[in-house]
Structure 1
Amino acid sequence: MPAINAIAADKLVRLLGTPRSPAMIDIRNDAEFDAEPRLIPGAVRRAFTSIPDWAPDFGDASVIVVCNDGGAAGHGAAAWLRQAGADADVLDGGVIGWVGSGHPLLDTAAVPPRDAAGRTLWVTRARPKVDRIACPWLIRRFVDPHAMFLFVPAPEVAGVAARMGATPFDIEDAAVRWTHDGELCTFDVMVEGFGLGAVDGLARLAAIVRGADTGRPNLVPEAAGLLAISLGLSRMYPDDLEQLDAGIAVYDALYRWCRDATDETHDWTSHKPAKSRVRA
């Protein structure tokens, strides 16, 4: 059983990638991080020694502090965050326990440089449809919850990337890392490139995105539906960022289906208590 003010790894892993996932703060020192240079997906690094500086940033948020072993450093940081107003707990067992449980980790070497505010900045073509909504969802849910996305005319993507230090994605340029690779769409490339293939549900979701984005709606049964929703959203929202906000909710729901509900069906009686169903 986890200690007081602690959360078990098996419970936290179920929150990853969902809108209710808490903020996760990795406070390991450099030596500890060098020994395991990956992060829990969605976590951000902060220095334990500067807690007074960054604790107010989390206000009354729900926070999980991730230290190396779930010990004194984590509990001390969580206590400080609580007195600053946050609802803070510690990951029981820390990173060592997380790794020992076989839970997924983010390959931080693949994450682009962050700006002065600690965010990654991305740029792609305007008027997104499938990949250019799916990829921001993946990034915000599993890589950088504070990532920013710029949508610009296709001919200007490279120039904006160079001038603003943004990372381009989903463009036709062989020199760009985050774009289509053969039959794989950009979402596929990101799932693999960030080391997220072991996250429950993402492989199934990737197949749906691939089918919808690469003109193969028959690849899996759900691809045609995602394509229809994506095209509908693009016509509903003339503003790309408003479309992104709406699309995030779509991918939240689709991810939960991929992870938790693929065996569930629905008909006139499936929602009724068993005793009230008509049996042949």
Structure 2
Amino acid sequence: MTIEVTVTNPPNDTVSAEVLYADGTSSTSPSDFGLESSRNVGSGYVAGRVVFPDTATTGNTQTLTLDIADEEDNEPKEDGVFVFQNVTNASVEGTDRLTISIGAIEIFFKDFEDGSLDPMSVFNVTNGNGWGTGNFENNSYAVANAFGGSEASNSWLISPAINFNNFEGETLTFRNRKRFDDGGEEQPLEVKVSTDYDGSGNPENFSWTDITDRVQSLASEGEGFVASGEIDLSDAQFQADEVYVAFKYTSSGTGPGSSEEQQVDDVRVVGR
């Protein structure tokens, strides 16, 4: 992370500014910026100093680099406040105070605890069994199982449109559990992203990027719920005002050995 300090109306002399982390007004902690052992000044911690030469002109910028060490992945958004001491002629965007946001901003989340899939939607490409909801030991989740259906399943569980344009560093996480095994399908659960889906039509008539290979862990038969790990969605191709994330379930048949059950829970998309 870099803090930019821009000089305004320099006095034809060297200008220096001490940058302080304001502990009392920040919702973060000094350790989030690696400052817990820095020199303490009042209620702040010295983050560093920037210096402008006597040749500096209005608009010149110096930067101070800090390492962010947020304590937890996907931690909620927090604000760190920095102030600048003795900066009569130096400012950041016209002020001597700057707020730096760190942590994750939740863009979309669905835990299925209300017993419904809404606002996610289902499109069944075939007449086989599609996505629904299940509950076990007081935990609700999305579930698809082709067993006993009229034909092999091809069912999509699709998020509503998500606007990525106001964020960066987007990631997807979810939990997954598998029961039984479909010996005829190499990957019965696929994860896909689209920026041209219309929100209601047959998803196979639109463009989707398969991101299944970005999932760090998918459950094996007999395991409990497995965390997917953080799945990077920050690609330039995904930066759009309508982004759809889908879970595609397929089966090779409808009976033992040709179908399996896939459970998905806690679908979360975050950005920064």
Give the TM bin, normalised by the shorter chain.
under 0.3
State TM-score, norm by structure 2.
0.23
- Answer with 1 or 2: which has the greater Rg: 2
Structure with the higher fraction of residues in helix conformation: 1
**Higher RCO, 1 or 2 (CA under 8 Å, sep at least 6)?**
2
